[in-house]
Structure 1
Amino acid sequence: MTWQPAPADPWVRDVNRGAVPLLSAEYGHPLDADELLGEARARTGLDDFGDFDGGGFEEPLRLLVHALETEGRLNLLGRYEVRQQILRLLEVRLQLARQLRDDPGVLDEPVTAPLFVTGAPRTGTSILHALLSRDPANRVPESWEFLRPVPPPDPATRDTDPRIALVDRELRLTAMIAPGFDAMHERGARMPKECISAQAIAFRSEDFPGKFRVPSYAAWLASCDMGPAYRAHRVVLQVLQRRTGAPPQWVLKAPPHLGTLDALLAAYPDARVAVTHRDPVKVLGSLGSLLATIHATHSDDVDAAELAGTQVDFYADVLARYTALRRAGKIDDTVFHDSHYADFLTDPLGTVEALYAHFGRTLDDGARSAMAGYLADRPRGKHGAHSYSLADFGLDAAAVRARFADYQEYFAVPEEGGRA
């Protein structure tokens, strides 16, 4: 294995080695679920965490905190970041519960025929979602809205809401710690956000294994009922659209949806699903690099080979199940639209147009122009090149490809050249 994190800036090394005593005293102690629950109550002055997701959030919260302490290998900045994330999620639960008590009509808000973009990570889901956000007919949640949804955004002040700056500081921390991170996956408060951030309010979300080494929590998550996560997700959408009048055309996105389509379609029976496909060898090399870099911002002891191998196993199962689902034909093909990353690179607007046509929509000239302008302003590699290879993680490309052969054949996913 040859993968290594980029050298950290001196300030990062100083913080993690305890050279800032106040930070060490504040964040160096073990995480404790009861302490976090109490602090969230104290911060907000609220006491009721609600049961709007119907699943009981404390069990997964405690499993997560235990995994972080016993398995996470957290450095000081990792402890700081996960503590702030958990406190934010608990505060949002308290705020959502109060919002629903004060305005119970929120739960009557219709969420009609949402479009979900999904697929394995690194297959173009983010750029497709961003393009769809350029169409004024679509409503795409921005990062600040999923992270701080209460109170419902006011359309008149949505562009100047003070929560934007608050969330931007949180999201930009990873790029501050990890040089070159923006070349892999840029984050910002005004950018589209993945649904895993809303599902995290139920503490049932791939957001946590994506950032931290928590194998026992990840194993529990893989077999748990994801219904509460989608119910929490729906409540967040209902809050966000509360002041908008007519129900919006939601366009949402998260790669993990591909592994939980049963729960997604149970929560949103009229949902439509756009699935992106890419050579699995390229997907897993890029994903290994991204996740190892994220984990290295929270830990000085990252087993990158273990992490990449876990992703191979995870997505071999997810893509095999999706292939079996489509092959069985038990769900009408009109629910799904499949596209290839290679085609998107060649003709991104043509890919969007085909997606719209499949779901009975038309890409009008205004939306097309806005999407073209977005692409022109954000050329590929704008923040630098992202170099990666499966070999960096001690994985053999031919062996990996063999595990995905049935998936790749069924969806006619082309192989990509370059380093494997």
Structure 2
Amino acid sequence: MSDSTLDWQPPPRPEWLARFNAEGQHTDLRSLVPLNADELIDTACRRTGLSDFGDNRWREPFEVLLKALEDEADLHYFGRLMTRNDLLIWLQALLGVQAAFTAHPEIADEVVDRPVIIAGLSRSGTSILFELLSQDSRFGLPRHWEMMFPYPPPERATYDTDPRIEHCQHLITQWNRVAPTYATMHEMDARLPNECIIAQACTFISEYIPFLFQVPSYMAWLGSKADWEYPYQFYKKLLQLWQWRNPRQHWLLKAPSHLNYLPTLFKVFPDAQVLLTHRDPLQAQASVTNLAGTFYWMRSDKPLDVAAFEGLLSPRHMAARLDQVIDWLESGSIPKKQCSNSLYADLVKHPLQALHKVYRQIGLSLDGEAERRMVHYLQNKPQGKFGAHRYGVGESDEVRRKRTLFRRYQAYFEVPDEAVI
């Protein structure tokens, strides 16, 4: 795999979107679709009738992001509209969560009991493991609609009929209308569970945000100045809020990027069971760029600048992050007994055997009904979606050179090589 795998070519724009954006080229977009901090805050307060944001740790990253959006993201007309709507949704979520805890301080007494949290490289099996474990009714999963619109708190009686579901459904399927190729990469539905970083975005400290926009200065701020305890503390509040009137037995949560913040995760969720997924890092890396490029293309005509995102995409930086996990485990910075492992290769070849192993590691039994549901789910997966594991043969000198970066990681977790194609 050479560096050319980091190249990305944008697909053609839908005709309706090309015409819409062309109209915006002769207008003052910054005045027409403002991304001004005070104006956005005033609008969010006016829409909700609320004014208390609570903890103010969101304010600095919010302003860093706005400056980066204006200076670096090169948003087109429709992209600015999408972005403004995202920002207002996040601000309104902050206001709503604070209003709920102010009106009902007892929500803070809700116990988030032994959540199971999946983390690992992107494309390493986090999604399929998440989908399979979700077939077990003992797990509660946050759905996309409640992540987007957490206030008022979801109610058990109306959980499947809440009008926010339809609102969320329109907004997230809009992505497929803006970039039709995205529909082939990821299933979007308001009722499906989604990644923790999407809910954390309303704190404006989230790895979700630099996958939406090309904002290198914001990425640099995340890497050097962000207080990562804040979005994890806020996420715990969201879990308490979601389960308050719609109880869940154990939360099942997932985000690949938890891998980078495991000490913080365990500080906020000390009884968590973390499932680490593992796959040949070179194969996992190869599919990330296409996803990132498509996200950016939804909002901007700016070409994908891979060099600006080296920390997300380069083998050297990826290897450093994986080695860091090993160091945390060996030093006791994270509790080894609460960290379990799932190999992508095992999940592909022998899924039920791999799932029984996962359950043993987290101290639960896989009962017959849950297993039957998992088998049914596997039988009804679209062909090819579950993936295939191809062992590496005849690798190039370049691939072998890059593979040396991951030698420690692959040996430590017994991760087999795959063919890099």
**Shift in alpha-carbon separation, 1:102–1:322, aligned structure 2, 3 A:** same
Q: Does 1:309 align with 2:310?
A: yes
> 1:357 maps to which residue?
360
RMSD: 2.4
C-alpha displacement of 1:235 = 0.7
- Contact 2:118/2:255, CA 8 A, preserved across alignment: yes
Map residues 34-113 of structure 1 onto 2, 5 A cutoff.
34-51=38-55, 56-113=57-114
Q: Identify which of 331, 345, 350 aligns with 2:348.
A: 345
Which residue of 2 is the match for residue 390 of structure 1? none
Amino acid at match of 1:341: Y
Cα distance per residue 1:336-380 (max 9 Å; x no partner): 111111111112232222111111101111111112222222224
- Matching of residues 134-153 of structure 1 within 5 Å: 134-153=135-154
Counterparts of 2:387 and 2:253 in 1: how far apart (Å)? 27
Q: 1:99 to 1:358 in 2, by over 3 A?
A: same
Q: Which is worse superposed, 177-186 or 322-331?
A: 322-331
Contact 2:280 2:410 in 1 (8 A): yes
Tell me how far apart the structure 2 counterparts of residues 283 and 20 of structure 1 sit (CA, whole Å): 38
Query: Which residue of structure 2 lines up, in the alignment, with residue 284 of structure 1?
Result: 285
- Once the two structures are overlaid, the 10-residue window that deviates more, 167-176 or 115-124, is 167-176
User: Hey, what's the Cα distance between the residues in 1 that align with 2:43 and 2:80?
Assistant: 16
- Tell which deviates more after alignment, 322-331 or 10-19: 322-331
Contact 1:288 1:308 in 2 (8 A): no
| Identical aligned residues as a percent | 38
Question: SS in structure 1 opposite 2:252?
Answer: strand
Distance 1:130 1:112 in 2: 21
Q: How many residues are matched?
A: 405
Counterpart-to-counterpart distance in 2, 1:120 and 1:105: 37
Q: Offset of 1:214 from its aligned partner?
A: 1.2
Matched, 1:3 2:12: no
- Residues 48 and 19 of structure 1, relative CA distance in 2, 3 Å threshold: closer
Structure 2, unpaired ranges of 5+: 389-397
Contact 1:3 / 1:304 at 8 angstroms: preserved in 2? Answer: no
Per the alignment, residue 183 of structure 2 pairs with 182
Shift of 1:325: 1.7
3-state secondary structure, aligned to 1:181: helix
Q: Aligned match of 1:366 in 365, 369, 394?
A: 369
Cα distance change of structure 1 residues 14 and 381 upon mapping to structure 2, 3 Å threshold: farther
Q: Does the aligned pair in 2 maintain the 1:71–1:213 contact within 8 Å?
A: yes
Q: Which residue identity does 1:3 align to in structure 2?
A: W
Give the equivalent residue in structure 2 for 1:392: none
Give the match for residue 166 of structure 1.
167
* Structure 2 letter corresponding to 1:127: I
Partner of 2:257: 256
Find the counterpart in structure 1 of residue 323 from structure 2: 320
Q: CA deviation at 1:401?
A: 2.6
Aligned-pair CA distance for 1:321:
0.7
Amino acid at match of 2:35: L
Matching residue of 1:229? 231
Cα contact 1:129–1:192 (8 A) shared by 2 = no
Q: Distance in 2 between matches of 1:279 and 1:179?
A: 29
TM-score by length of 2: 0.90
Equivalents in 1 of 2:263, 2:400: separation in Å? 31
Query: Under a length normalisation based on structure 1, what TM-score does the superposition of the two structures give?
Result: 0.90
Partner residue in 1 for 2:392:
none
What is the letter of the counterpart of residue 18 of structure 2?
Answer: R
